[in-house]
Structure 1
């Protein structure tokens, strides 16, 4: 498992770490309209999944805005941001921030995504910061578990991986 800290304190991640070359695990999260979204719903597309602890905190805000801005540079890629924030809060934040190129999804109900991808923080019931790229055949082509949850991911590497995925 990835070794993660949150504000320099070690945390326990639930679930299994996903690795490049593996088939992406399925999950069920909620869209802002409370409809269920699964991996199957986005089948046949390249997906860049940005995982953040809470959408309305500094680094999470910047991460979501950055991928929203980069969306034009990664055509044929669906960019998803997953957090445990309530769908209502995500919708309100996106409207206030002018986010239109990223779909925010909530894992608050049962941590389905967090446990499937090994990013659920047991002690905080938040998700660890991570980025995944899944190709159109549901294979993980990029996985970054950010070692300190308050740090930024490697945006350039994730974007390049999304461009390279088919």
Structure 2
């Protein structure tokens, strides 16, 4: 279990992120077009998993915008923005913002992504949502970098994620 904070108040996740050097756990998520996506759909590409509680918060929205900008010049790289928001909300946000360099995916059906990566909140006001994390994968799905953001309202370390690619 990881202990992090939300506006200074202690909260917990279901475990620790998978370790650098390990193969990333597979997942099944829902795209904004309601299609099913899994990790194998992105095989052969470098992947940034930008994971957050809800795109309807300022910090989460900013992370999607920032990665959209940062990844636009990177070759063979996909940024997957993952939350438990409904696919419709994710699609509406990216459409309204004109964001075309990220792929929004939802863990709304059963939260299995959050469970597989040990990052769902198990207590506090955001219980059952995904915590703010970054996981960077190489072309073979091996984890190169992870970050569990220690204060939920803070942004991730974008520079470290991009450098890990």
1:23 corresponds in structure 2 to 23
RMSD: 1.2
Farther-moved stretch of structure 1 (37-46 vs 6-15): 6-15
**Could you say which residue in structure 2 is the equivalent of 1:102?**
102
Corresponding residue for residue 140 of structure 1 = 143
SS, match of residue 160 in structure 2: helix
- The gaps in structure 2 that reach 5 residues or longer are none
CA distance in 2: counterparts of 1:149 and 1:157, whole angstroms: 18
Q: Tell whether the 8 Å contact from 1:16 to 1:116 is kept in structure 2 after alignment.
A: no
- Residue aligning to 1:63: 63
Structure 1, residues 7-32: CA drift from partner, whole Å, max 9, x if none? Answer: 22222212552111111011111000
1:2 and 1:14, CA in 2 relative to 1: closer, same or farther beyond 3 A?
A: closer
* Offset of residue 41 of structure 1: 1.3
- Select the residue among 153, 159, 162 that pairs with 1:156: 159
Tell me the equivalent position of 1:80: 80
1 CA distance for matches of 2:91 and 2:104? 8
Query: TM-score if structure 1 supplies the norm length?
Result: 0.93
CA distance in 1, matches of 2:16, 2:58: 27
Contact persistence 2:81–2:104 (CA under 8 A): yes
Looking at structure 2, the residues matched to 72 and 40 of structure 1 have their Cα atoms a distance apart, in angstroms, of 22
Moved more, 76-85 or 113-122: 113-122
- Secondary structure of the equivalent of 1:128? coil
TM-score, L = length of structure 2: 0.93
Q: Across the two proteins, how many residue pairs are aligned to each other? A: 162
CA distance in 2, matches of 1:3, 1:139: 25
1:105-135 C-alpha deviation (Å, 9 max, x unpaired): 0011111111111111123221110111111
User: Partners in 1 of 2:81 and 2:129 — Cα distance?
Assistant: 14
In structure 1, stretches of 5+ residues that fail to align are none
